[in-house]
Structure formats: C-alpha cells, structure tokens
Chain A
Amino acid sequence: MATQAKFTEHPEVARRFPDLHPAFAPQQATVEANRCLNCFDAPCTAACPTHIDVPKFIKKIASGNLRGSAATILESNVLADSCSRVCPVEVLCEGSCVMHRYNKQPIEIGRLQRYAIETFYDSGAQIPKRNSPARKEKIACIGGGPASLSCAAELVQQGFKVVVYDKRPLPGGLNTYGVAEYKLRTADSLREIAMIEKLGVEFRTEEIADEAALAGLEKEYDVIFLGLGLGKMHKLGVHGDDTGGVIDALEFIADIKTGAKLDVGKNVVVVGAGNTAIDAAVAAVRLGAGNVHIVYRRDEKSISAFDFEFEHAKQEGVKFLWGTLPVAVHSDNGHAKTLECVQVKVDEFGKFSQVPGSNFHMECDMVIPAIGQSPLLEFLGKFHDLKLEKGRIVADRATGATSNPKYFAGGDCINGGREVVDAVADGKRAALGISAKLGVK
C-alpha cells in the first residue's frame, strides 16, 4: 500500500492547526525573489546544513523558471518541502542573510523555498530522476526519519537498491509524527515521502529489528545505514509520573497529528522549555485548553527554545513559570488532578536548591513532560562493534562511517538531537560515504 494512502487527515486537526506562515502567492514570491541581492558565495548557502544554492533557486523564481528552481533545491535537499516549513531559518539561512546589515529585512528564504517546491509538487511533477545505471549492491536504512529518507533518496538516485525500515505504521519519523501540525502537516510529510518512494526506495513499516533480524539484515545488505533517532522522552521522575493524564510531549503531538486524541481538558502544564515543549503547549492552546503553563526550573534567559518559538508561545497565550520544579503529580481516580511544584534557586555553581515552604499546587487535566529524549541505549547495544559515546553512535561527520564498516549512521542518533535539516545533511553525507565505499567515483 502506497504510503500516502495509509493516512487520512482528521478534519478537526486541519481546522485547529492552520499554517503558521501561510504560503506565498505567485506575485508575492516574485517581488520577494527580486529583492534578493544574489550574493556571491552566499552566506545563506553556507549556513544551510544541506548547502542549498539559495540565490540560484531564488533567481529562478524571479525569472519564472519554477521547475528549475525546485530542481535546484531538491538536488541539495530531498526533504526541501518539510525543511522549508520546519527549519529554524532565523538561525540558519535567513539569519545569515546580508540584508540584516542592509535594510534589516532578510529575504524570506524559507517561504520562497516552500513556494518553489509546492508549486512543483502541485503541478504533478516528481523529483527529477538521475540517469544512473543500476547497481547490484543493496542498502538498508533503519529508521524512517529524515536522515534515512535523505540517505535512501541519494543512494537510489545513484542506482543502488534501498529499503527503509521503520517501526511505526507510517514512515517519516518526527516529520510525520513529531512536528507541530501548524508547521508541517502529516499529510505533507507523507506527500514528500511518496516522492522518494517514486524514486524507487522501498519502505517496510511496522518492522521491529531484534538481534536475529539484525543478523539477517547484515547478511542481506551490503551496507546498513542507521537513522534511528533518539529514544523515548525522559519521564518526570517524580511521584505519580505514570498516572493517567501524564503524557510526554512527543506522544501528545503524535496523538494530535494522527487524530488519535484531541481532548486536552482545561488546564495543561508542560514541563520543560525547549522547542518541543513550546510545540506541545501551543497545541494544547489550539485544542481549547484555556489555561496552559510551561514550568521550567531555570530562568527565562536559560531556555533552550529558539527566541522566535518563545515569542510565538507568548503570543498564543502560553504562560511561563520560571524557577519552578515539579515534585509530584497528585491524582484522583487514577487521573492527574494537581501538579505539586516547588520554587527552586540556582547558585553560581549551577546547583539547584528548593526554597523551603514554597510548595504549591497547580490544577491540571494534563501534565506534559518535555524534558528531552533519552538515548536508544538498549537498542544500540544490539549492534556489534558499534562505538558509542554519551549514548550517541560515533560517526565520521564527513562520511557517516562508524566503527563497524558495515554500518553508517546519521541524524539524531549521532548528533544528539538537532533539526530536520541537520539529519538530511547527515543522511546525504552518509550516502556519499556509502557510495564511495562501494566504489562509486
């Protein structure tokens, strides 16, 4: 069954999560494209982990060569559609735009990229296929997220036979299950994956690899690429953290995106202040929770969310409690009722201490921990001769090669958890590393 056919968007989700940054209309795009200075050795291109030739694709929009524009983008980044939606462009291409020093208005590169790619896909076009001779070697990509998708697309373009394995019903990893819906719809993630499928990549979903299966894969495939991502989110580690109504942020977002659970109640508390915490908190607001708090043990200056995400959350009505640490989830009939918190102070050495007598209770229908994903330690332990460090696979940044010549790796499982575009870049570099190892010049 083709990937896209396995999913139907929930109408309520579509209604509550309209585009955060609506697409450009054609003339808007042309005006913006004309504004680009067409820098030489452009800083935006250098800043992009996949090094999309930004001025080149923008000037093709200006000239009316939209097909060429999309092809330019896809040549560097096969997940260009999702990247155009989810990239933190403020700290990447647009952040490096020379216009910051000119009239303070960087070119809207992300929206232009989205315009070029969407126009291309909407026209019924497909990713241009390279005319490479078929090769006999077979490569398996384990994990169906951005790193594997990128790696698989590049390898299949080079003539290799590639199969992507994923444990979930739909491929795409966080692109499909984990990105706030108003940034990237699951349906759009799947459309993009369908494009890669049409290049000839085979997807096998709901497959879980145990040791025996891995041994089988090692026999069947010449090289195995590991695009495993990270493990489950950390638990709160306080009394009652497994009670009903406590659900981690990624699970919460996945439930929304698939339409599995859209009822959030009135009071929602998100714990943590990273980008995923913001996504979860905003989603809770959009689903009708009138009272959404983010509690964070440090202060405002220390949050790991990007500035624009923090601003967005405030605009949506999310409230923040700083220097606040959850100590217990109190339940009623097995369902969370209040979250007990305590004020904390951090001294000059970074040591936290609770303020005695500062405990208070927050009413909650839902508690959403968003305090990071854990490494896939248990699963990673199944691979032989795979060197790990701090729960990550040790891989060569330029080639994705690991300590085991059979395995290459990329994405969150080697970089500890970065952006989609970083995974795409890792995947492509690994594909080039793999093809070089297999003798492609």
Chain B
Amino acid sequence: MADLKTNFAGIQCPNPFWLASAPPTNCGEQIMRAFDAGWGGAVWKTIGEPITNVSSRYSSIDWAGQRMMGLNNIELISDRPIEVNLREITEVKKRYPAHAVIASLMVESKREVWHEMVKRAEGAGADGLELNFGCPHGMSERGMGSAVGQDPIYAQMITEWVKEVAKTPVIVKLTPNITDIRVVARAAKAAKADAVSAINTINSITGIDLDTFEARPNVGGKSSHGGYCGPAVKPIAMNMIQSVMADPTAALPMSGIGGISNWQDAAEFILLGCGTVQVCTAAMHYGYRIVEDMVDGLSNWMDSKGFKTIEEFRGLTIHKITDWKHLDLNYKIVASINESLCIGCDLCHIACWDGAHQCIHMDRVAGPKDGPVEIHERPAEFEKRSRASIAVTPIPKLDHVTMEAHGPYATPLARIPRVDETECVGCNLCSLVCPVNNCITMVERPTGLPPETWNERTKGTGRPIAGMPTGHH
C-alpha cells in the first residue's frame, strides 16, 4: 500500500491533498469536517483586514450539459475578523495536530503590517504561510493581491519582509495573470521563499445573459471580472507549473493548483513536480467527500506502478517537456482504425477533412487507392448521396429481407473509414474525436532516419527564419 505521507518544504501532512484558500476553508468548523473527510491539509481562506463582499459572487461555464466546467468568483478575502480566524486556527491545530494548516495572508503593503500579521499567524499555530499575491479582483484595486503578484519587485520586497520574521515555511502564491509566470517565481526564490503555489485564478468574464445583456455574476445589473478556476483551467495551470519547475532560477517546492478534480489530475500535477496539490472547485461542486477517491485512486495507481512514496514519481515528466526546437522531426506516426471497434459515427472522417489533412476517406470499400495523387469524393457529396437515396421502413411481409453487404464487422463496411497513410501527418485529431476507447490509435512508422531536431537541421544553414516550420496558428 502506497505511503501518501507528505513533507512539503518542511510542512508535514498525511497526504498531499490540501484544500485551497477559498470558501471551503472559510472557518475552523469547515476545516475540521474536511480533515475528517480525509484532506491532508488546508490553506485558510485569506486572512487580512475584513472586507465586505457583494452578492452574487459566483458564475460558471457549463459544457454539453455538464455543470461547472469552469467557475468564476468575485468574492474577496475573509470577511471575518482576524482574531476570530486566528483563534480557530489554534483550535483546529489543537484537535488535528497531524494535519497541515496554512495561513493565507494578505495585508497592506507595509513592512510592519506584514511583520505583525506573520507573527500573529504563527503565534496561532499555523504550520506555514501562503502569501496571497494572486487574487485578481477587488483586492488588486486596493494595491494588494495580484497587484503585488504582477510586479516582481513588489513581490520580492514583501516576501523579504515576511522572511525577516517568519519561522514557518513561506509559500508565495503566484498569479497567472502575467505574461511570464517565471518572473515572479524567480523573485520569490530570490527573496528566499520556501515554496510557491500556482496558479491562482485567471481573470475572466464567464457569460452574458442574452435577455438582459448583463454579465454574470450579476450584482444589481452590473458585473466585474472575476477569477476563473475549475477543470477548464487545468491545462493552463500545468503549463505554468511546468515552466516554473523546469527553470532552475525559479523552481521551488510547488503546491499545484488549477482544476484538480480527481486523483488522475493530482498524479499529473505531481509528475510535473508538485509536492502537494490544492483543490477548490471540485470541493465546492461536490463537497469534501471527493477526497476519498483522490486518496484511494492515487494510492491504487501508485501500487499498480510500484511507487511506494510520492517522491518516487514526483517530477518525472518535467523534463519530458521541452521547447519545440528539441523535438525529433523524423519521428512519424499514423492513425490506425480498428475496424472491429468502429461504430461508424465517421467523426474522424469529417474532422480530418475539415480540421486536419484530408487523409481519412469513406471510399474504403472501393479498395486501396494509395498513391501520390488521389481523387476523393468530398464530404458534402457523401451526404448528398445518402439523402438522395430512397429509404423505406423495412417490413418483413413486403420485403425480401436481404441484408445489404455488411462485411465482417459490427458496423457496415461502407461506414468504416480508412486512413491513407501516405497522406496522414500523424496529428492525432481523429483519435481525439473518436468516441470509442482505443478504436483509433496512432502507430509508429519508422522513417529509417536518425533523430533530427529543427535546431540540428538548421545549424549552419543560415536559414532559420526563412525556413520556419509551418504549423497550426
């Protein structure tokens, strides 16, 4: 059985699953219930001078009938007095000494105010501090949150102030609302921060009511940009985390945040180097109980892979991601359709014709046509033919029931597309649109050529700009 115990920059916890600083960690009562449900740690809803919130506060993006693919909020930091939050931290730590309680902090950008806040939080018993340099709405208009996180000089300065007095590990939370997230990560590292967490929420407007023309969330007819999170932001978060972790001048212990909804997401973030993962939207959607499968699923996966601890696989993918110029131009794969699994939706055909390279064809029953120049009927011609056909309700009494040439597969042969490998560029699109698991796979076709990168190909040719590769723009 895998051991999920985690030591994150010196912070100990039973597993790497933390609740992110957000409504699920608003008060001690919630956090204790979360620990009972199985969470390894919690980052307290950001503590600072209490604010006044608006109603409403959240809005979301649904996709194809699924709720909350992305969640947006315009809620500010804690609206509770500092001393109440700190008293509850003490209480939680007393009852749950083995769990990580991180105090997220945001105060006025003054050295003595930060010193005072850090001392009080640590005095209350927090295991670590997370500096909220990321909140993209409201607080940033007051010179805090992402207003700090978008300026490496401020970020470094405040981190240094905190480190002057902090006795517990200091985590700098990075905002994604910046051109290059590494710049602020480097500033945090230069200021001797112990760790970073990323990403905070992304500036967003989620939607507009088409009857009132008002944006969501609606506060008395007006809205404001908010912070976007949830499954939709996961790829953006992973890219930013990888870029930090691959940069020796920026890399620190990383607490990964951004759309993590299940154990698979968590495993991916850990493969990019994260020591812990923080979750918010999924817990807001389904409650604290989701952590049970996160722990169970990660543990089972680790067992199946033979990993005994998180450290054994943490970061394995960081260096499998590189700049484009280091990719092998002579590596070739092509799409392969498993006729036995094909259900005949023909989405691969139309995707290839309209969205890729016109190499998946519906004329397979006519036999192979591979050759340098092929003339195929276009998709619209197929549709036109189907619609010009005379179809009738099959009635056994009237029809001699003769099955049309069906072929050896469950799907009629005429509906199973074929790949012309001479034209396939190996883009993956067909395998992405295919609804059936493992029906379209990409198989390697050795080119017989040694690996060669763009860098190598253009070395000494003096044509790196004129010969820039074409691609998807």
Contacts and interface: CB of A to CB of B under 8 A. Distances in A.
B391 interface: yes
B396 to A, nearest CB: 6
B210 to A, nearest CB: 9
Given A37-B347, A43-B415, A101-B411, A30 B396 contact: no
A98 B343 contact: yes
A38 B347 contact: yes
A51 B386 contact: yes
Contacts of A30: 65
Interface string A28-54: 001100100111110101111101000
A41 B382 contact: yes
A46 B65 contact: no
Interface of A is mostly: loop
A346 to B, nearest CB: 16
Given A31-B65, A40-B379, A62-B65, A101 B410 contact: yes
B64 A34 contact: yes
Given A41-B386, A46-B386, A102-B436, A304 B346 contact: no
A422 B347 contact: no
Contacts of B349: 40
Contacts of A398: 390
A91 interface: yes
Contact of A98 (B344, B362, B387): B344
Interface string B425-454: 000000000011000000000000000000
B459 interface: no
A415 B394 contact: no
B260 interface: no
Interface residues of A, number: 37
B343 A101 contact: yes
A101 B411 CA distance: 8
B397 interface: yes
A92 B395 CA distance: 11
A422 B346 CA distance: 27
B393 interface: yes
A422 B392 CA distance: 6
A39 B346 contact: yes
B435 A51 contact: no
A130 interface: no
Interface string A402-432: 0000000000000111110110010001000
A88 interface: yes
Interface in B383-423: 383, 386-387, 389-398, 410-411, 415
B350 interface: yes
A397 B390 contact: yes
Contacts of B410: 101
Contact of A422 (B65, B382, B393): B393
Contacts of B415: 43
Nearest to A99: B343
B411 A45 contact: no
B237 to A, nearest CB: 27
A419 B347 contact: no
B208 interface: no
Which of A31, A99, A101 lies at the interface centre, i.e. has the most chain B CB atoms within 10 A of its CB?
A: A101
Contacts of B343: 98-99, 101-102
Interface string B269-284: 0000000000000000
Nearest to B399: A418
A85 to B, nearest CB: 15
Which of A41, A415, A422 lies at the interface centre, i.e. has the most chain B CB atoms within 10 A of its CB?
A: A41
A87 B415 CA distance: 24
A102 B436 CA distance: 7
B386 A45 contact: yes
A48 B391 contact: yes
Which of B386, B389, B411 lies at the interface centre, i.e. has the most chain A CB atoms within 10 A of its CB?
A: B386
Contact of B345 (A98, A417, A422): A98
A88 B411 CA distance: 22
Interface in A163-194: none
Which of B345, B362, B393, B435 lies at the interface centre, i.e. has the most chain A CB atoms within 10 A of its CB?
A: B393
Contacts of B346: 39-41
9 cross-chain pairs, A with B, having the tightest CB-CB distances, nearest first: A34-B65, A40-B350, A101-B343, A40-B346, A39-B345, A46-B386, A419-B393, A98-B343, A51-B387
Interface of A: 30-31, 34, 37-41, 43, 45-49, 51, 62, 87-88, 91-92, 98-99, 101-102, 274, 304, 397-398, 415-419, 421-422, 425, 429
Given A30-B65, A418-B393, A425-B391, 20 more contacts: A34-B65, A37-B435, A39-B345, A39-B346, A40-B350, A41-B362, A43-B344, A45-B387, A48-B391, A49-B391, A51-B386, A51-B389, A91-B394, A99-B343, A101-B344, A101-B410, A102-B343, A304-B396, A304-B397, A419-B395
24 contacts: A31-B65, A37-B347, A39-B344, A40-B349, A40-B350, A41-B362, A41-B379, A41-B386, A45-B386, A47-B391, A48-B391, A49-B390, A49-B392, A51-B391, A88-B393, A98-B345, A99-B343, A101-B344, A304-B395, A304-B396, A415-B392, A422-B392, A422-B393, A429-B390
